[in-house]
Amino acid sequence: MAREYVWLECGESGQRNYRTPKETRGTDRLELKKYCKKLRRHASHKESRKK
């Protein structure tokens, strides 16, 4: 099982707010509704690899 940490980046503010482990083989990009501190509301967060 190859697991890797990915960052969840807010689609509206561009801020990386969360880091989570994810199975890397054979999976789609992760997209969740999470709370954004900058916007002070829930927004769509998409997977972003650490640079």
Q: What is the CATH number of the domain that holds 31?
A: 2.20.28.120
Q: What share of the chain is helix, strand, coil (3-state, %, to 5)?
A: 0, 60, 40
> At residue 41, does pLDDT exceed 70?
yes
pLDDT score recorded for residue 24: 80
Range of the domain at 13: 3-48
- Identity of the residue numbered 5: Y
pTM: 0.81
How many domains does the structure of the chain reveal?
Answer: 1
pLDDT in tens, 4-32: 889 999 999 999 999 999 988 888 889 99
pLDDT score recorded for residue 14: 93
pLDDT score recorded for residue 51: 56
